[in-house]
Amino acid sequence: MSKFWGFFKSIQIKFIIVYILLLLIAIQVIGAYFVNQLEGQLRDNFNESINERIQLLSYNLEQAFLTERGEEASEDTPTLENDVQSIIYDFDSEDITEIQVINSNGRVLGTTNQADLINVGKRTTDLGIQRALTGNREQDIYYNPQNGHRTWVISAPIQNNGQETVGALNIEASLEGVDGQLEDINRIFANGTLLAITVSALLGILVARTITKPIMEMRRQATVMATGDFSKKVNVYGNDEIGQLAVTFNDLNDQLQLAQATTEGERRKLSLVLSNMTDGVIATDRSGDIILMNEPASKLIGKDYIEVQGKPILDILGINDNVSDLFEVREANSIIIDYSEEDEQLLLKANFSVIQDENNEMNGFITVISDVTEQEKVERERREFVANVSHELRTPLTTMKSYLETLTEGDTWKDETIAPKFLNVTQTETERMIRLVNDLLQLSKMDNKDYRLNKERVEYIHFINHIVDRFEMNLKEGLSIERYLPKGECYVWIDSDKLTQVLDNIISNAIKYSPEGGKINVEVIQENHRLLTQVSDEGVGIPEDNVEKIFDRFYRVDKARSRQLGGTGLGLAISKEMIEAHDGKIWAKSKENKGTTITFSLPLMRKKRGSN
């Protein structure tokens, strides 16, 4: 059975098929041309015959109309109908299946179709007949799907001496005779084609055997060569193209033997290059088993080469869940692998490249591993930032929409109690969005370095006293601010406006989250070359796991309370950017239910410059 199917897959059957197809195409082209010309000739003869009969019938009907008019009779008299009916019944033609005569008023005078006799004397609405009554000749071919026959319908005018149209003649002629002749011719042509194909197939088998025998020998020899045996040669049966192919095949056998040795040498060179690369590189064979791994790759995946040698790369990299076999790896091109642990995040990107031999067949993989932890972190923060901005804007917009819709419905806007409250909420949400957009613009400028610090020499103790005094003037009852400032003068090189914004953010947060009766401490500590500023409160505090996150954009410990107090979640993020722009640092310490301390440092100016 396998030999049978193998025959249909061989080049021999392809030769036979091509041979038959060429002959079949030639026969079909000739046959199509012949049948097309013959059909045109038969149709022309048929048309000529029908037209001659129409002329004769039109002449007889014209005489009948003239006779009736000569007797000054009306157009619809029985005498004319009888005369017309007699003429069309006496008209004999095998091809014409129905004749219908219509007077100038569109009434049927006679018909050969017994089923249409009831329409004699009635007006016809046929479009072709109506056009014929205007002096135009109409004709068309219709196909009857019930019996598969075609009918030629002709509507011709009956004119008085070629001038006045006195009626119309509608004739239906069957094309069954013409179609039958064409079917007979096509049947004869098809039988001849089958006979020609049968003879061609027998000749094709004989011709194909002489061509495919040497090729089959070369195929068997190629199978032997694939095993690494280059000792045998194929027989040369002649000096034609196939004989030359056999000679070339033997030369190829010698070249492959040399190429195998060369390839082995190149493989060793490649292994040496890979082992000395600085990037993480893993080389595999065609089965995906590791044959080489350099030191950077060993450090990234945390395994020595001895541990992974000969093992599948899918298992070593732990990507079995992402891809199931090497073909999917080839299609994937690159994969992100998560090697993160509880205390450290590590994301590796594995780029896969296919090694191909001289026949463009896959001979293995080169996997380049790189650490993309920071890149993925930046991308994740970007996505989170976009989501947070959308969420922060959607919340006030939704609130404003609902309040405004309530005001516009009915007479709510006239209510002097409800309307001002709704408008106040709308105004509050609008101001909140304005603050959010302003903070976003400021952060955008900082990210793009599109801002300039106007630094100046500032005495810091006086500067911070001025800021705290401003807060104490508007401090709500029950809260107090304590100052712990060093004596003497401390000079710093700062942008006063930017640092005022930082202190406003930090002290405002301390006031917002301080309970009634709480105390806020503002302390300045002078160290060797820097000045520390601490703002402490006695509020609810921050969970230990979240302390480092409070400087992230849009991060809030208590989201509901932050929105209620009007915060945008960007204040501390902006403060961090500004402090770092002043070459300082900012950090936080907190305990739940005991309060939070925000500390930032600024470079202290040297006394030498400060004395000027």
CATH code at position 470? 3.30.565.10
CATH number at residue 50: 3.30.450.20
Name 199's bridge partners. none
Dihedral angle of Cα 406, 408, 409, 412, to the nearest 10 degrees: 70
| Shared domain check, 97 and 30 | yes
- Asked whether residue 63 is assigned to any structural domain, the reply reads yes
Spatial contact of 603 and 493, defined as CB atoms under 8 Å apart:
yes
The mean predicted confidence, pLDDT, of the chain is: 77
Mean pLDDT for 131-145 is 78
- Asked whether residue 91 is assigned to any structural domain, the reply reads yes
Residue 245 has pLDDT above 50, yes or no: yes
- Higher-confidence position of 612 and 119: 119
pLDDT at 599: 92
| Shared domain check, 94 and 38 | yes
| Shared domain check, 331 and 468 | no
| Shared domain check, 552 and 537 | yes
| Shared domain check, 172 and 60 | yes
Residue 75 has pLDDT above 50, yes or no: no
In the listed set 420, 447, 474, which residue is the last one of a domain according to the structure?
447
Residues 6+ apart with CB under 8 A from 482: 519, 520, 521, 522
Fill in the amino acid letter for 241.
E
Mean pLDDT for 292-304 is 82
- 3-state DSSP helix/strand/coil % of the chain, to nearest 5: 55, 20, 25
Q: What is the residue whose two structure tokens read 């350099």?
A: 294
The count of other CB atoms within 10 Å of the CB of residue 400 is: 19
CATH number at residue 438: 1.10.287.130
| Shared domain check, 133 and 49 | yes
Residue 606 has pLDDT above 70, yes or no: no
- Asked whether residue 4 is assigned to any structural domain, the reply reads no
pLDDT at 611: 46
- Asked whether residue 3 is assigned to any structural domain, the reply reads no
| Shared domain check, 557 and 597 | yes
Q: What is the pLDDT of residues 451-508, one digit of tens each?
A: 677 888 989 999 999 888 888 877 777 788 889 998 888 889 888 888 888 888 888 8
Dihedral angle of Cα 141, 144, 149, 154, to the nearest 10 degrees: -30
CA 577 – CA 580 distance, rounded (Å): 5
DSSP class per residue in 321-374: TT-SSHHHHHHH-EEEEE---SS---EEEEEEEEEE-TTS-EEEEEEEEEE-HH
In the listed set 345, 368, 391, which residue is the last one of a domain according to the structure?
368
Distances (CA, A) of 406 to 115, 198, 393: 77, 88, 20
In the listed set 337, 368, 399, which residue is the last one of a domain according to the structure?
368
Q: What is the pLDDT of residues 98-136, one digit of tens each?
A: 887 887 777 877 787 777 777 777 787 778 777 777 778
| Shared domain check, 461 and 605 | yes
Mean pLDDT for 263-271 is 76
pLDDT at 568: 57
- Asked whether residue 316 is assigned to any structural domain, the reply reads yes
| Shared domain check, 411 and 325 | no
**pLDDT band at 600; cut points 50, 70, 90:** very high
Residue 568: domain span: 456-610
- Asked whether residue 79 is assigned to any structural domain, the reply reads yes
Q: How many domains does the chain have?
A: 5
Q: What is the pLDDT of residues 299-353, one digit of tens each?
A: 888 888 888 888 888 888 877 666 666 677 667 677 777 777 766 778 888 888 8
Mean pLDDT for 253-259 is 83
Name 189's bridge partners. none
Q: What is the pLDDT of residues 541-579, one digit of tens each?
A: 888 777 777 777 666 655 444 444 445 567 788 788 888
CA 6 – CA 4 distance, rounded (Å): 5
Q: 74-78, 131-135, 137-141: lowest mean pLDDT where? A: 74-78
**pLDDT band at 518; cut points 50, 70, 90:** confident
Fill in the amino acid letter for 78.
P
CA 487 – CA 272 distance, rounded (Å): 69
- Asked whether residue 208 is assigned to any structural domain, the reply reads no
- Asked whether residue 209 is assigned to any structural domain, the reply reads no
pLDDT at 609: 44
| Shared domain check, 508 and 404 | no
Sheet containing 138-144, strands listed edge to edge, beginning at the edge strand earlier in sequence: 108-111, 96-103, 164-174, 149-160, 138-144
pLDDT at 13: 76
352 sits in which H/E element: strand 347-356
Spatial contact of 522 and 468, defined as CB atoms under 8 Å apart:
yes
| Shared domain check, 493 and 434 | no
| Shared domain check, 436 and 300 | no
